[in-house]
Every structure is written in structure tokens, then in C-alpha cells.
Amino acid sequence: MFQEIRRQARAFYPEAVAIRRRLHQYPELGWCEFASTALAAEKLRQLGFQVLTGPAVCPEGARMGLPPEADLEAAWRQARQEGAPEGELLPLRGGFTGVLAEFSHGPGPVAAFRCDLDALPLTEETGLPFASRHPGVMHACGHDGHTAMALGAAAILRNLSDAWSGTLKLIFQPAEEGVRGGRAVAESGFLDDVDFLLGAHIFGRGRPEGDCDLVPGAFGSLATTKLDAEFRGQASHAGSFPEQGRSVMPAMAAAVSALYGIPRHSGGASRVNVGRLEAGSGRNVTADWGRMELEVRGATTEINRYMEENARRILDGAAQMQGVSCRIQTAGGAPSVESSLPLCRRIQEVCRREFPDIRPTSYLQGPSEGSEDFSWLMERVKARGGQAAFPLLLADTAAPAHTPRFDFPEPVMQTGMTALAGVLYDILRK
């Protein structure tokens, strides 16, 4: 049967390439993945999955870091104009993107696979024939490949369903970038009966992995919180009546300096970054409004909490110092990724035993970069006694992720489909 999985992954590969290139040409930012959602939903319905879209995927109040209403509407209209099926698009309007799909096939375990749908606010510089047609938006993290692989694994397991018993669930998660969508999907409750949860990420090959193809599980990605701080003061004529104004400028400047001075934590790595500042209306007016986008990270959920508490206190304190107000909103966040060791071992064993051309690393867990909000889904499953793992699919990428020349070699999708369908089949087989 594993040979059949390998054969089917090879047969599906041209379609995976076509899907990936289509998504790559029409990339969509977080909560705006209207065409991508419609594409995935349509294919899953054709495969006979029960498909959920709309507010059932991400409950309304649980979505973090939503773009402005007007941006959501413009993106929705663009998807319709570019030919996404109207029937699929309707329930998504207003940023209700993402797909949950289920195929129940007799008694047995519940196995799930999650991929992510969104692209990044970058202008592509790859020069590829299928480069982005949306100015300023680019798939530079491989999520186009993840979505194509997930649809491939779904097709393979659906074709082979006579050989397994149980339930297969698929999650096409919106808004992974900025770690905004994971918590909402976890709160849908869709994962609450899942026994085994897999995710996957295409990952630039580094020195410790040598020429291996896969790290069975990631661990220790940084926990993170994204904050938006909005400052409000009082405008006045900067020359005639400066004493009547309350400027947000000195408050924001003091806050930035103090944020970079948060004492380091002895428990492990931490990060703080102020990534965007916007304030004031003109040279001769006391600035009465300002906005700051910042993030903190920590090696553990606890260290991240320490950083977040300090950041919130500094923002409030700096505002108070200047007699202005500061409203802080959480724009995203994720705990640290911790793969379950027994599931990592199973991934390694299935590859070694059944797919000798897919070489896993000798170690079960390796560090991933940055942060990843699949951790919300992993925590949800582990808290109910299930296992979760986040394998890294290693590839020689053209440039680092999140940069304008990023690209990955497409055959990694065949490796991914084979390994993922293989492990899911191993869990579900009769």
C-alpha cells in the first residue's frame, strides 16, 4: 500500500504544481484568502469531503489582527473578479476565510492535517513565469506549496479509503503570518476529537540537516505576542499655544527606547521589536494621534508573557508621563511549538521503513525559525490527550523565507505528499 501511496503522489504531482502556481500567481494576505479558500473548498467537495467554510471555521470574536473592513471587501471583490466561484465566495465575505474538511470512514482514530493559506506583504522579485500578479503581495513562505500538498494528500487518502478506517480531517488555516488565525481555528472546536495532528512547513536546508529531506518534528519555535498601541493626545498650534496641546510624540519615543531596554530573562531567549510607527498630522500641529506596531517573543510561553507584561507597562507608563492615552490591542500571538515525541518517532519510522528515498534526520526534533501559530492547534489536541507533530520538509530554497527572491524546488511537494499521506495512512490503516 505504501508503494501505491508513492505512485499516487507521483501521479498527482503535476496537479500539485498547477495548484501551487495558480496560488502563487494570485497570492492573498491573511483573512483575505478568498480565492484560495474557494479553490480548496471546491476541490475537497469534489473529493467527497464534508466541507465547512464561513464563520464555522473561525468564530467571529476569535479572529486576531483583522485588516480594515474596506480592505476585506476590496480583496473579496478582487477574488470574484478574478473568477473564484461565487457560491464558494459568499459565506467568506468579511474575512471568514479558511476551510475545515472531514471524511469519516468507519470506526477508528481521528487523524488530521493542517496547512496554511496566506501570503506576505512583499513585492516579488523572482522573475518566475508564474510570479505574483498582485502588486505588493507574495507567497514567500511556501504556503502555496503547503496548500497544494494538503490537497494532494487528501486526494491520495480518499482514493485509498477502502484500506483504512477512521476519520480524516483537514484544516486549511487562514492568517498564519503574524500568528493571527491559529487561535481562532482552535476555538472552533473542530480539533477536539483529534487523536493525531500533523502540520508541515517547507524549510530551507541548513548545516545540521546535511542532505536529509525531513526533520520529523519542530520544537522550540518562539512564543510570541503582537501588539498594536494607539496613542491619543490633544492637538494645538505648535507655535502659538503649545501648552494647550498634549503630544503623543515624546510618549511614543520614550516607549520605543524603554521597550528595547527590557531586562533579559535568565530562562532563555527573548525578542522585542517595534516594527512600525505612525503619528501626527503636520509639522506645526501638536501630534494628537499615533500608532505603534510591535512584537515580543520568548523561548517559552512564560518568557514571552514576561516580555509582554513589561511591554504593556512601558506603553502605559510612557503615555501617562506625557498626559496622553494609550489603548493596546492584541493583534496576534502563539505559544511555542512542541512536537510530541512518539508521533515524531512514527514519522521517522514510516519514512525509513517505507520510503527509503525520503531521508529523515537521525534526531527526532529540530528547531524551527521564528514563530508559528500551528502551536495553538497542537496545544488544543495535546491538552485532550492527542499527539501533534510539525515536520519540516527540507529544501534548497532560492533565498530565505520572507524575502522577495524566495522560491522552493517544487519536487519537495512530492516528498511532502508521500510522507504525509504515508504517515496518515499508517495511523488510519485497518
Q: Which is nearer to Zn ion, 177 or 195 (CB)?
A: 177
User: What is the CB-side half-sphere exposure of residue 116 using CA atoms within 13 A?
Assistant: 29
CA-wise closest residue to 386 among 208, 190, 160? 190
CB of 138 to Zn ion, least distance (A): 11
C-alpha cell at 243: 501648552
Q: Which residues pair with 203 in a beta bridge?
A: 394
Q: Which is nearer to Zn ion, 115 or 326 (CB)?
A: 115
Q: Which is nearer to Zn ion, 79 or 337 (CB)?
A: 337
Q: Which is nearer to Zn ion, 141 or 331 (CB)?
A: 141
Q: Identify the H or E element spanning 143.
A: helix 143-159
Phi-psi region of 259 (alpha: psi -120 to 50; beta: other; left: phi over 0): alpha
CB of 401 to Zn ion, least distance (A): 6
CB of 176 to Zn ion, least distance (A): 6
For residue 85, report the phi and psi dihedrals to the nearest 5 degrees.
-65, 125
CB of 121 to Zn ion, least distance (A): 11
Please report, as ranges, the residues that interact with Zn ion according to CB under 5 A: 141
Q: Which is nearer to Zn ion, 152 or 182 (CB)?
A: 182
> Do residues 112 and 196 make contact, with C-beta atoms less than 8 angstroms apart?
yes
Q: Is 39 exposed, middle or buried (0-12, 13-18, 19+ CB in 10 A)?
A: buried
Q: Which is nearer to Zn ion, 242 or 370 (CB)?
A: 370
Q: Which is nearer to Zn ion, 304 or 368 (CB)?
A: 368
- Spatial distance between the Cα atoms of 419 and 42, rounded to a whole number of angstroms: 24
What residues act catalytically? 116, 177
Q: Which is nearer to Zn ion, 293 or 349 (CB)?
A: 293
3-state secondary structure of 184: helix
CB of 199 to Zn ion, least distance (A): 10
> Do residues 49 and 101 make contact, with C-beta atoms less than 8 angstroms apart?
yes
Strands (E), 205-303: 214-215, 217-219, 223-232, 270-279, 289-298
CB of 370 to Zn ion, least distance (A): 7
Write out the DSSP string of 17-48: HHHHHHHHHS---TT--HHHHHHHHHHHHHTT
CB of 418 to Zn ion, least distance (A): 21
> Do residues 61 and 184 make contact, with C-beta atoms less than 8 angstroms apart?
no
Write out the DSSP string of 358-408: S-B-SSSEEE-SS--THHHHHHHHHHTT-EEE--EEEE--SS-TTSTT---
Give the distance, in angstroms, between the CA of residue 303 and the centroid of all CA atoms in the same chain: 22
Q: Which residues pair with 429 in a beta bridge?
A: 164
CB of 202 to Zn ion, least distance (A): 8
> Do residues 24 and 131 make contact, with C-beta atoms less than 8 angstroms apart?
yes
- Spatial distance between the Cα atoms of 159 and 402, rounded to a whole number of angstroms: 35
